């Protein structure tokens, strides 16, 4: 798989459901199978997968990463908004949408557009502008299609 990533000029997003996954990603990097910078997403709060969607867990997993590693959090359900806010403030990146959270607020179903618009507003209020496509490519070290 690592060879296919390189041959096609793509960078895998490493989804880490627990600290062991972070350790394995670092091992694969050290073995030369994955290139720096790793692109890591912590997946938190998924029932049956191990780690809770808490600030403490985000910070624990983040502390395992080399400086400068692009990271984000996928948080399930009601944890999505507070962890999106934390990521914006802590220098991470956000993931939002109906795949992880069906509600805009308690009892009110969401649309993807609502969830994305809310994160964009929040990022603006926190003076963390949303990346353009070219800026996102630079952050992720990927080339234009």
pLDDT in tens, 75-129: 999 999 999 999 999 999 999 999 999 999 999 999 999 999 999 999 999 999 9
Q: pLDDT per residue over 12-40, tens digit each?
A: 999 999 999 999 999 999 999 998 889 99
Any idea which architecture 2-140 has in CATH?
Alpha-Beta Barrel (3.20)
Measured between alpha carbons, how far is 19 from 61 in angstroms, rounded to an integer?
6
Are the C-beta atoms of residues 11 and 142 closer than 8 Å to each other? Answer: yes
Q: Which residues pair with 83 in a beta bridge?
A: none
Residue 79 to residue 95: CA distance in whole angstroms: 12
Which residues, including other chains, have CB under 8 Å from residue 40's CB and lie 6 or more apart?
A: 13, 14, 16, 22, 25, 65, 69, 70, 71, 72
Asked if residue 9 has pLDDT above 90, the reply is no
């Amino acid at each position: 798989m690592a060879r296919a990533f390189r041959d096609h000029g793509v960078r895998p997003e490493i989804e880490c459901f627990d600290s062991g996954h972070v350790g394995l990603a670092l091992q694969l990097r050290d073995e030369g199978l994955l290139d720096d910078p790793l692109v890591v997403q912590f997946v938190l709060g998924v029932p049956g997968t191990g780690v809770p969607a808490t600030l403490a867990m985000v910070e624990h997993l983040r502390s395992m990463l080399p400086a400068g590693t692009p990271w984000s959090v996928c948080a399930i359900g009601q944890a999505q908004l507070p962890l999106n806010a934390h990521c914006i403030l802590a220098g991470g990146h956000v993931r939002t949408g109906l795949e992880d959270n069906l509600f805009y607020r308690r009892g009110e179903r969401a649309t993807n557009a609502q969830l994305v618009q809310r994160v964009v507003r929040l990022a603006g209020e926190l003076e963390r502008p949303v990346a353009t496509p070219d800026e996102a490519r630079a952050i992720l070290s990927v080339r234009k299609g």
